[in-house]
Structure formats: structure tokens, C-alpha cells
Amino acid sequence: MRRSPRRHALAAPLGVALACGASALLAAPSSALASPQDLFGFGARSSGMAMSGPASTEGYEATYGGPALLAETREKSLTLGYTVARFSLWSETPGGRAALPNDEMKQLYIGAALPIPFGGALKDRVTFGVGFYDPVQYLVRGKILYPERFQYPILAPRTQSLALTLGLGMRLGDRVFVGVGYEALAAVIGEIDITVDSTGHVGARSDDQVVAAYAPIASVAVDVSEHVRVGLTFRGELVGRFAITIKAQDLGIAIPDLNVAGLAQYDPAQLHAEVRWTSDARALGKSPTPHTLDGWTVALGAIARRWSKYPGAPEKTVLANDDSDYGPPPVNAHDTIAPRLAVERGLPFTPHVGVRLRAGYAYEPSPMPAQTGASNYFDDDRHVLTAGFGLVGDATFPLRVDTFGQVHVLAARTQVKDGSVDASAPGAPWVKSGGSVFVVGITTGVSF
């Protein structure tokens, strides 16, 4: 959905075509979408460190990575940023190779952390955080594509979504942190009314609404020694639907109400575990002050995602027909475990400013099974290389700048069709897929 509301007056041929065209979507599947933060990480530091989080996240980024660690932030902060992702995906058949066009992602970051000034036993122990991931062009976008069409349903369309994260972190004692929060995605509901006015002209009126879908986040982190911290973050299943009802009245033919619905965005339930080691014991249990630190940080973790619960198919187009079970074939996605490793080096630059150099690697296995039938849902294992740079000042220069870059290299995958697929069908007798994704971003924050 673009950012401006739409109300259209259509000519008669176009109005009839809209109603009839919607009925042709009966066999079309919705894309298996998910949020950009699940793909690229939330915030410039996390994105530069292989999407790390539960034991190493900082500031507003902890609203997604691990709300428990919000409690380490003892200064108010505000962060703004921008990120761009470009896709270079292709398919290859016996007839040759072709590019698969995909929209470029452009997103705005907005983040804030606010320590809550409790007194007594809760003094300096509780912090609230908020983060926005705002697409420049769309609030949310869902695509309906036929299963035979060459497409990357999980990877490419997942980046067009407005996301919000909220979190609250608390420090229990000196070494235990707990936190809760939620994330929200934009979803769309609406109605298109096709009617005949008093002059006999056919017109259509569209009324779309953006609603929110929610999922819980909970985390815990424990400093098991002066140098080692372990963290665990749970993120619930996040389902952002689109549902458009098309009603055609008084057209001279009986057309039932049509329901164009499915998933605009989808994040599977996931469990993110991580171990962090730091060479500087001063960093544990205190507000991060990277300009004073001169040491190494290493984070090792893995994310288990429950892709097997992905519902896949859209709803029936004609709800009044209870006997119809016609629709796309099942997706049959499977659960995945994605390991990751990140390192960060803190260096003093001036008496009041320090720098942080970051790098990481993540392996993202594909949840999609082999496409041996008529469907062409491409997805490949990804090797993700990340790097980043941070510049941080102290109280005399309370500014922070972070940049990052990512390269996602897709391992080429060949899908061989079985005997049930016609030789003239798309992707027969075999089709190969692959490509890469390039992501860059920058954020600027101030503490006060």
C-alpha cells in the first residue's frame, strides 16, 4: 500500500475488468513475506555484526535484539538513520538466464531509549525503548503471484513493511537482566465497491485501511563471569494480513463478493540464543561507554525459526462457495537454524571520542523444499558477510555515528521437475536460481 489513500472513478470497461480480474486470482498464492529486521537486523550496530542481539545488543536496538539489555542504557538517546537494500536475483533454464526484477528497499530508522527515573530499589534499573523501521515508499506491500511464476517469495518482498518495536528492560541484581516488549507490522484491510450510477456509468470506489499485527518479545541475559554473558530472546509469530473485499452490484450479471486475501508479511516464531565474550570487564553490568573501552567483543549465536507453521495459501476468493477447495499447492516450508558469529574492536581515537570496528558472518539456510512440481518458489541458502564502523563520543561530545554494509551471497540451487510437470510448463525440465543482495546503512544518535 502506498502512503496516499485512493478513491477512483473508473470507466465501465475498467470497472467490469476489475471485478472479473479479481476472480482470476482464485489460484494465485500470496508471497511468503516477513519483516526487514528479520532479514538484515535492527539498527546499524546489529546489522554490522551479523544480526547479533540477545547478549550483545545496545541502546534502542535492544527493543528487537533483546529487551532485557535496555536496562544497560542509563542515558536518554535519540537515533535517526537510513538504509538501502538492492537485489540482484536471477533464474536460469535450458533457454538461458534472466534477471528477476525486485524493488529496491529504502528504509528510515528512528530509535529512542529512555531510562525511567524510579527511586528506591528500582533506581537505575529500568529503561524503556522504542524503534521504528519505516519504508520510504510503502506502509506495507503484498503481492499475489501465481505459483508457476519464477519468484523469491521469502527473500525479495520481505522488505516493504512498516515495523515498530517497543521494549522494557530491567536489571535484577548486578548480573541478571530481563525484558519484555512487542513488535508490530502494518497490515491492510479494505473494500472495493463497483456500482452503476444513475447515468448508467460503472464506477468503483476503494477504501483501504492500515491496521497493526502484533507479536510478543521476551528476553533474559546473565553475566556468568566478568567477561562472559549469555542471552536468550523469544519472538512470537508475526502475521500481517491483507484482505480486500470486492463487491459488484447492479451490473446486470450476478457476481458474488470476492475476497482477495492472504499474507502481506510473515515472521515465524523464533528463538535467538547468544554468548558474548568481552576482553574488558568494565563493560559488564554498566552503561556501554565505547569511547573508554580498548578491547575486543565476540558474539556467537544461532536463531531457530519455526517456518513449518507458515500457512502459505491465501484465503478462498469466493467465500460464499463453501464447496470449493481449489487453490495453490501447499508450501511445506521446514524449520531452520541459522548460526552467526560477530566481532567488534573498540579503539580510543581522542580523549573524548572512540571508534568501533565490526565484522560478522551468518549462515541462513533456506526453509523452502525442492520445487519438483509445477510451483517455482525459489529460495537458496544465504551466506551473509557484514561489516560496520562506529564513532562514539563521551559527555563532552554526546554524538554517535554508526555505518554498516552487508553482502548476501545466495548459493545457486537447481530444481529438477518430476514426471507430473508438463514439458512446456515454466521451469521444466529444470530451473536454476541464485543471486546476491547488497545492503548499506547509517545512523546518527545523540545522548542527553
C-alpha cell at 86: 538492492
Q: What's the maximum distance between 2 C-alpha atoms anywhere in the chain?
A: 80
Q: What is the mean pLDDT of residues 173-194?
A: 86
Q: Are 394 and 167 in contact (CB under 8 A)?
A: no
The confidence band for 27, taking pLDDT boundaries of 50, 70 and 90, is: very low
What pLDDT was estimated at residue 14? 37
Q: Which contacts of 256-261 are long-range, i.e. CB under 8 A and separated by 24 or more positions? A: 256/318, 256/320, 256/321, 257/318, 257/319, 257/320, 258/19, 258/22, 258/23, 258/317, 258/318, 259/315, 259/316, 259/317, 259/318, 259/319, 260/22, 260/25, 260/144, 260/314, 260/317, 261/30, 261/314, 261/315
Q: Are 152 and 165 in contact (CB under 8 A)?
A: no
Helices and strands counted in the chain (H then E): 4, 17
Residue 155: what residue type? L
Burial tier of 249 (Cβ tally within 10 Å: 0-12, 13-18, 19+):
exposed
C-alpha cell at 423: 514439458
Residue 165 predicted with pLDDT over 90: yes
pLDDT tens-digit series, residues 367-384: 999 999 988 888 999 999
What pLDDT was estimated at residue 19? 38
What pLDDT was estimated at residue 102? 81
What's the CATH architecture for 12-447?
Beta Barrel (2.40)
pLDDT tens-digit series, residues 68-85: 999 999 889 999 999 999
- CA neighbor of 28 nearest in space, from 141, 151, 146: 146
The confidence band for 24, taking pLDDT boundaries of 50, 70 and 90, is: very low
Q: What is the mean pLDDT of residues 304-317?
A: 76
Residue 325 predicted with pLDDT over 60: no
Residue scoring higher pLDDT (103 or 390): 390
Report how far residue 263's alpha carbon sits from residue 353's, in angstroms, rounded to the nearest whole number.
46
Report how far residue 73's alpha carbon sits from residue 65's, in angstroms, rounded to the nearest whole number.
14
Please count the other Cβ atoms lying within 10 Å of the Cβ belonging to residue 336.
20
- CA neighbor of 107 nearest in space, from 134, 131, 81: 134
Dihedral in degrees, nearest 10, Cα atoms 264, 1, 251, 24 = -40
Q: What is the DSSP string of 214-270?
A: EEEEEEEEEE-SSSEEEEEEEE--EEEEEEEEEEE-SSSS----EEEEEEEEEE--E
Please list the residues that pair with 357 across neighbouring strands.
345, 389
Residue 5 predicted with pLDDT over 50: no
Least confident stretch, 15-24, 291-300, 334-343: 15-24
CA 52, 54, 55, 59 torsion-angle sign: positive
Q: Are strands 238-248 and 176-196 parallel, antiparallel or unpaired?
A: parallel
Q: What is the DSSP letter of 48?
A: H
Q: What is the mean pLDDT of residues 127-139?
A: 83
Q: What is the DSSP letter of 282?
A: G
Q: What pTM did the predictor assign?
A: 0.84
